[in-house]
Protein backbone atom coordinates (compact mmCIF):
# COMPACT_ATOMS: atom_id res chain seq x y z
CA UNK A 1 0.00 0.00 0.00
CA UNK A 2 1.33 3.40 -0.97
CA UNK A 3 1.88 5.78 1.89
CA UNK A 4 1.26 9.41 1.05
CA UNK A 5 3.67 12.01 2.29
CA UNK A 6 2.23 14.15 5.06
CA UNK A 7 3.50 17.68 5.53
CA UNK A 8 3.18 19.04 9.05
CA UNK A 9 3.15 22.76 9.75
CA UNK A 10 4.96 23.45 13.03
CA UNK A 11 3.32 25.61 15.66
CA UNK A 12 4.85 27.77 18.34
CA UNK A 13 3.66 29.38 21.54
CA UNK A 14 5.31 32.65 20.48
CA UNK A 15 3.49 35.05 18.11
CA UNK A 16 5.08 35.66 14.73
CA UNK A 17 6.58 39.07 14.04
CA UNK A 18 4.33 40.95 11.60
CA UNK A 19 6.80 43.74 10.82
CA UNK A 20 9.28 43.34 7.96
CA UNK A 21 8.85 39.59 7.95
CA UNK A 22 8.71 38.37 4.33
CA UNK A 23 8.21 34.79 5.51
CA UNK A 24 4.87 35.60 7.13
CA UNK A 25 2.67 35.78 4.04
CA UNK A 26 4.72 33.28 2.06
CA UNK A 27 4.23 30.79 4.88
CA UNK A 28 0.53 31.53 5.19
CA UNK A 29 -0.13 31.34 1.45
CA UNK A 30 2.30 28.95 -0.27
CA UNK A 31 -0.12 28.57 -3.19
CA UNK A 32 -0.09 32.33 -3.82
CA UNK A 33 3.67 32.79 -3.46
CA UNK A 34 4.51 29.64 -5.38
CA UNK A 35 8.29 30.10 -5.36
CA UNK A 36 8.54 31.47 -1.84
CA UNK A 37 9.52 34.94 -3.01
CA UNK A 38 7.83 38.20 -3.89
CA UNK A 39 6.42 38.80 -0.42
CA UNK A 40 5.92 42.33 0.93
CA UNK A 41 8.58 44.07 3.02
CA UNK A 42 11.45 41.95 1.79
CA UNK A 43 14.54 43.84 2.92
CA UNK A 44 16.65 42.22 0.21
CA UNK A 45 14.65 44.07 -2.46
CA UNK A 46 16.75 46.90 -4.00
CA UNK A 47 13.81 49.31 -3.96
CA UNK A 48 11.76 49.30 -0.78
CA UNK A 49 7.99 49.25 -1.28
CA UNK A 50 5.42 50.06 1.38
CA UNK A 51 2.96 47.37 2.41
CA UNK A 52 -0.06 49.32 1.12
CA UNK A 53 1.49 49.77 -2.32
CA UNK A 54 2.61 46.15 -2.51
CA UNK A 55 -0.83 44.96 -1.45
CA UNK A 56 -2.43 47.02 -4.23
CA UNK A 57 0.02 45.52 -6.71
CA UNK A 58 -0.70 41.94 -5.61
CA UNK A 59 -4.45 42.47 -5.82
CA UNK A 60 -4.02 43.72 -9.39
CA UNK A 61 -2.35 40.53 -10.64
CA UNK A 62 -3.59 39.49 -14.05
CA UNK A 63 -4.33 35.91 -12.93
CA UNK A 64 -6.41 37.32 -10.02
CA UNK A 65 -5.20 34.64 -7.61
CA UNK A 66 -4.72 37.13 -4.78
CA UNK A 67 -8.05 38.83 -5.41
CA UNK A 68 -10.07 35.62 -5.50
CA UNK A 69 -8.42 34.04 -2.46
CA UNK A 70 -10.96 33.76 0.35
CA UNK A 71 -8.82 35.16 3.15
CA UNK A 72 -5.76 36.98 1.77
CA UNK A 73 -7.44 40.36 1.40
CA UNK A 74 -8.84 40.19 4.95
CA UNK A 75 -5.55 39.11 6.54
CA UNK A 76 -3.60 41.92 4.90
CA UNK A 77 -6.29 44.47 5.75
CA UNK A 78 -6.16 43.33 9.37
CA UNK A 79 -2.39 43.79 9.36
CA UNK A 80 -2.81 47.36 8.16
CA UNK A 81 -5.47 48.04 10.78
CA UNK A 82 -3.26 46.81 13.61
CA UNK A 83 -0.35 48.88 12.36
CA UNK A 84 -2.50 51.99 12.27
CA UNK A 85 -3.70 51.29 15.81
CA UNK A 86 -0.16 50.70 17.11
CA UNK A 87 1.18 53.81 15.37
CA UNK A 88 -1.45 56.13 16.82
CA UNK A 89 -1.22 54.48 20.23
CA UNK A 90 2.50 55.21 20.16
CA UNK A 91 1.80 58.85 19.30
CA UNK A 92 -0.62 59.19 22.21
CA UNK A 93 1.86 57.55 24.58
CA UNK A 94 4.41 60.28 23.78
CA UNK A 95 2.06 63.07 24.87
CA UNK A 96 2.91 64.69 28.22
CA UNK A 97 -0.61 64.19 29.60
CA UNK A 98 -0.63 60.46 28.92
CA UNK A 99 1.46 59.49 31.96
CA UNK A 100 -1.25 60.64 34.36
CA UNK A 101 -3.86 58.74 32.37
CA UNK A 102 -1.65 55.65 32.28
CA UNK A 103 -1.37 55.59 36.06
CA UNK A 104 -5.16 55.68 36.36
CA UNK A 105 -5.64 53.03 33.68
CA UNK A 106 -3.21 50.73 35.49
CA UNK A 107 -5.48 50.86 38.52
CA UNK A 108 -8.20 49.04 36.55
CA UNK A 109 -8.64 45.31 36.87
CA UNK A 110 -10.35 42.73 34.71
CA UNK A 111 -13.47 42.85 36.89
CA UNK A 112 -13.96 46.57 36.20
CA UNK A 113 -13.70 46.07 32.46
CA UNK A 114 -15.97 43.02 32.54
CA UNK A 115 -18.61 44.95 34.47
CA UNK A 116 -18.37 47.90 32.07
CA UNK A 117 -18.77 45.63 29.04
CA UNK A 118 -21.76 43.92 30.61
CA UNK A 119 -23.41 47.25 31.46
CA UNK A 120 -22.66 48.59 28.00
CA UNK A 121 -24.34 45.59 26.36
CA UNK A 122 -27.39 46.21 28.56
CA UNK A 123 -27.23 49.97 27.83
CA UNK A 124 -26.97 50.71 31.55
CA UNK A 125 -23.39 52.01 31.57
CA UNK A 126 -22.87 55.21 33.58
CA UNK A 127 -19.98 57.33 32.32
CA UNK A 128 -19.57 58.94 35.74
CA UNK A 129 -19.10 55.68 37.62
CA UNK A 130 -15.40 55.14 36.92
CA UNK A 131 -13.08 57.96 35.85
CA UNK A 132 -10.17 55.64 34.99
CA UNK A 133 -12.39 53.54 32.74
CA UNK A 134 -13.65 56.68 31.01
CA UNK A 135 -10.09 57.71 30.19
CA UNK A 136 -9.35 54.25 28.81
CA UNK A 137 -12.43 54.40 26.59
CA UNK A 138 -11.52 57.90 25.46
CA UNK A 139 -8.06 56.77 24.36
CA UNK A 140 -9.57 53.77 22.56
CA UNK A 141 -11.96 56.07 20.70
CA UNK A 142 -9.15 58.44 19.78
CA UNK A 143 -7.00 55.63 18.38
CA UNK A 144 -9.91 53.80 16.76
CA UNK A 145 -11.06 56.96 15.01
CA UNK A 146 -7.89 56.86 12.92
CA UNK A 147 -8.03 53.17 12.05
CA UNK A 148 -9.64 52.63 8.66
CA UNK A 149 -12.79 50.58 8.63
CA UNK A 150 -13.33 50.70 12.39
CA UNK A 151 -16.55 51.69 14.12
CA UNK A 152 -14.87 54.69 15.69
CA UNK A 153 -13.61 55.89 12.30
CA UNK A 154 -17.20 56.03 11.07
CA UNK A 155 -18.13 57.94 14.22
CA UNK A 156 -15.31 60.39 13.49
CA UNK A 157 -16.61 60.89 9.95
CA UNK A 158 -20.11 61.59 11.26
CA UNK A 159 -18.62 64.15 13.63
CA UNK A 160 -16.93 65.87 10.69
CA UNK A 161 -20.21 65.92 8.77
CA UNK A 162 -21.99 67.48 11.76
CA UNK A 163 -19.20 70.06 12.02
CA UNK A 164 -19.59 70.95 8.34
CA UNK A 165 -23.35 71.33 8.76
CA UNK A 166 -22.81 73.54 11.80
CA UNK A 167 -20.28 75.67 9.92
CA UNK A 168 -21.76 75.73 6.41
CA UNK A 169 -25.43 75.03 7.07
CA UNK A 170 -27.62 72.18 5.89
CA UNK A 171 -26.95 70.89 2.36
CA UNK A 172 -29.30 72.07 -0.36
CA UNK A 173 -29.68 68.64 -1.91
CA UNK A 174 -29.53 65.08 -0.61
CA UNK A 175 -28.30 62.47 -3.06
CA UNK A 176 -28.25 58.74 -2.36
CA UNK A 177 -26.18 56.56 -4.69
CA UNK A 178 -26.60 52.79 -4.55
CA UNK A 179 -24.92 51.16 -7.56
CA UNK A 180 -26.25 47.70 -8.41
CA UNK A 181 -22.98 45.97 -9.26
CA UNK A 182 -24.53 42.59 -10.10
CA UNK A 183 -26.54 44.23 -12.88
CA UNK A 184 -23.69 46.28 -14.32
CA UNK A 185 -21.78 45.10 -17.42
CA UNK A 186 -18.89 47.35 -16.37
CA UNK A 187 -18.47 45.47 -13.08
CA UNK A 188 -18.51 42.15 -14.94
CA UNK A 189 -15.94 43.51 -17.39
CA UNK A 190 -13.63 44.49 -14.52
CA UNK A 191 -14.11 40.99 -13.09
CA UNK A 192 -12.67 39.46 -16.26
CA UNK A 193 -15.84 38.60 -18.17
CA UNK A 194 -15.22 39.12 -21.87
CA UNK A 195 -17.77 41.70 -22.94
CA UNK A 196 -17.94 44.24 -25.72
CA UNK A 197 -19.12 47.26 -23.76
CA UNK A 198 -20.08 49.03 -26.99
CA UNK A 199 -22.32 46.17 -28.10
CA UNK A 200 -23.71 44.24 -25.14
CA UNK A 201 -26.09 41.37 -25.82
CA UNK A 202 -28.54 40.14 -23.19
CA UNK A 203 -27.36 36.55 -23.51
CA UNK A 204 -23.84 37.65 -22.55
CA UNK A 205 -24.94 38.89 -19.12
CA UNK A 206 -25.87 35.44 -17.77
CA UNK A 207 -28.46 34.91 -15.05
CA UNK A 208 -28.63 36.89 -11.80
CA UNK A 209 -27.14 34.14 -9.61
CA UNK A 210 -24.13 33.71 -11.88
CA UNK A 211 -23.52 37.46 -11.99
CA UNK A 212 -23.76 37.68 -8.20
CA UNK A 213 -21.31 34.79 -7.87
CA UNK A 214 -18.78 36.50 -10.13
CA UNK A 215 -19.09 39.84 -8.35
CA UNK A 216 -18.78 38.26 -4.90
CA UNK A 217 -15.61 36.41 -5.89
CA UNK A 218 -13.94 39.54 -7.34
CA UNK A 219 -13.98 42.21 -4.60
CA UNK A 220 -11.24 44.30 -6.23
CA UNK A 221 -13.16 44.50 -9.50
CA UNK A 222 -16.27 45.54 -7.58
CA UNK A 223 -14.32 48.25 -5.76
CA UNK A 224 -12.93 49.54 -9.07
CA UNK A 225 -16.43 49.68 -10.52
CA UNK A 226 -17.78 51.56 -7.50
CA UNK A 227 -14.87 54.02 -7.52
CA UNK A 228 -15.19 54.66 -11.25
CA UNK A 229 -18.95 55.18 -11.10
CA UNK A 230 -18.96 57.48 -8.07
CA UNK A 231 -16.00 59.49 -9.38
CA UNK A 232 -17.70 60.06 -12.73
CA UNK A 233 -20.96 61.06 -11.07
CA UNK A 234 -19.23 63.55 -8.78
CA UNK A 235 -17.08 64.94 -11.61
CA UNK A 236 -20.13 65.37 -13.85
CA UNK A 237 -22.73 66.60 -11.39
CA UNK A 238 -20.67 68.48 -8.80
CA UNK A 239 -17.39 69.59 -10.38
CA UNK A 240 -18.95 69.85 -13.84
CA UNK A 241 -21.52 72.29 -12.52
CA UNK A 242 -24.70 70.34 -13.21
CA UNK A 243 -25.88 70.92 -9.63
pLDDT at 240: 67
Question: 237 pLDDT exceeds 70?
Answer: yes
CA separation for the pair 97, 17 (Å, rounded): 30
What confidence category does residue 228 fall into, taking pLDDT thresholds of 50, 70 and 90?
very high
Q: What is the 3-state secondary structure (H, E, C) of the chain?
A: CCCCCCCCCCCCCCCCCCCCCHHHHHHHCCCCCCCCCCCCCCCCCCCCCCHHHHHHHHCCCCCCHHHHCCCHHHHHHHHHHHHHHHHHHHHHHCCCCHHHHHHHHHCCCHHHHHHHHHHHHCCCCCCCCCHHHHHHHHHHHHHHCCCCCCHHHHHHHHHHHHHHHHHHCCCCCCCCCCCCHHHCHHHHHHCCCCCCCCCCCHHHHCCHHHHHHHHHCCHHHHHHHHHHHHHHHHHHHHHCCCC
Chain segment 143-194, per-residue pLDDT in tens: 888 888 888 888 888 999 999 999 988 887 777 888 888 888 888 889 988 8
Question: 58 pLDDT exceeds 70?
Answer: yes
Chain segment 61-80, per-residue pLDDT in tens: 888 999 999 899 999 999 99
Amino acid sequence: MDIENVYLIPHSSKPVNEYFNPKLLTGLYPTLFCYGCGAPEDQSRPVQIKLKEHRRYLLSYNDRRFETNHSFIFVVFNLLQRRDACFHAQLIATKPYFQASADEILSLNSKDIETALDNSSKRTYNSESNNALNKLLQHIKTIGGRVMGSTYSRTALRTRIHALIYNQGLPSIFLTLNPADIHSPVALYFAGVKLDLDNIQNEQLMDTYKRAEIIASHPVATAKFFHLLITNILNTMIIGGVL
